[in-house]
């Protein structure tokens, strides 16, 4: 049996077409989830054409310790959020030229700026202030922030601020095992796959 070009076209036209599920990120609502590979990320901040999405709590990444001290810029936590499977998949799907680099203010809880800012990474861990200002937009789980409790010029470099499973914020030793939830920043014109509607 010979199949002509016309028959191939006719057969192709009979195949049900899947409706595209991608939408522009600017149409998402706060707390709405998007599918990125095998994981979901939730929108928690919209500001100035930038859309901040955080890895959902079901996919949080465990690490042995935050670091040997509480300076996020030299920490194991920073290395982990930029190299974990969820971040690698997001980088593969969106591309380094699309993701907007993060800028994290490492001001300590007691107001010391020894560590300055950590900038240029495509993925990061939220600061205490980001959590405070957006708590209602984040599904709560135990997770670290990148905010130090103090610094070497103050009370010391051994504690970081963490969010507990009930949403409280307290300190924890930076050498304890922790859970991290990376976030990244997307531009307003990118298309994403939504998981749920609010």
Q: What is the 3-state secondary structure (H, E, C) of 46-64?
A: EECCEEEEEECHHHCEEEC
CA 32 vs CA 23, 37, 139, 151: distances in Å: 12, 16, 11, 36
**Residue 59: which residues within 8 A CB-CB, separation 6 or more?**
39, 40, 86, 181
What's 198's DSSP letter?
Answer: -
Question: 161: which strand partners?
Answer: 171
Task: List the domain range (segments joined by +) for residue 75.
Answer: 5-194
Per-residue confidence (pLDDT) for residue 17, from 0 to 100: 46
pLDDT score, position 11: 53
pLDDT in tens, the chain (198 residues): 565 556 555 555 565 544 558 999 999 999 999 999 999 999 999 999 999 999 999 999 999 999 999 999 999 999 999 999 999 999 999 999 999 999 999 999 999 999 999 999 999 999 999 999 999 999 999 999 999 999 999 999 999 999 999 999 999 999 988 899 999 999 999 999 999 755
State the pLDDT at residue 18: 46
pLDDT for 185:
98
Closest CA to 39 of 13, 11, 23, 60: 60
Number of domain units in the chain: 1
pLDDT (0 to 100) of residue 4? 59
């Amino acid at each position: 049996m010979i199949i002509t070009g016309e028959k191939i076209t006719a057969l192709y036209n009979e195949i049900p077409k899947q409706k595209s599920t991608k939408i522009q990120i600017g149409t998402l609502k706060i707390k709405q989830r998007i599918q990125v590979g095998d994981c979901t990320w939730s929108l928690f901040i919209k500001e100035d054409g930038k859309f901040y999405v955080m890895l959902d709590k079901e996919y949080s990444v465990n690490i042995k310790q935050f670091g040997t001290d509480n300076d996020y810029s030299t920490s194991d936590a920073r290395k982990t959020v930029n190299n974990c499977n969820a971040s690698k998949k997001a980088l593969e799907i969106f591309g380094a030229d699309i993701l907007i680099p993060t800028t994290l203010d490492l001001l300590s809880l007691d107001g010391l700026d020894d560590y300055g800012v950590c900038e240029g990474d495509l993925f990061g861990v939220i600061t205490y202030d980001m959590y405070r200002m957006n708590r209602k937009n984040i599904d709560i789980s135990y997770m670290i922030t990148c905010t130090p409790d103090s610094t070497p010029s103050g009370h010391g470099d051994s504690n970081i601020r963490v969010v507990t499973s009930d949403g409280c914020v307290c300190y924890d030793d930076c050498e304890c095992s922790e859970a991290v939830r990376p976030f990244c920043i997307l531009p307003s014109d990118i298309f994403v796959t939504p998981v749920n509607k609010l």
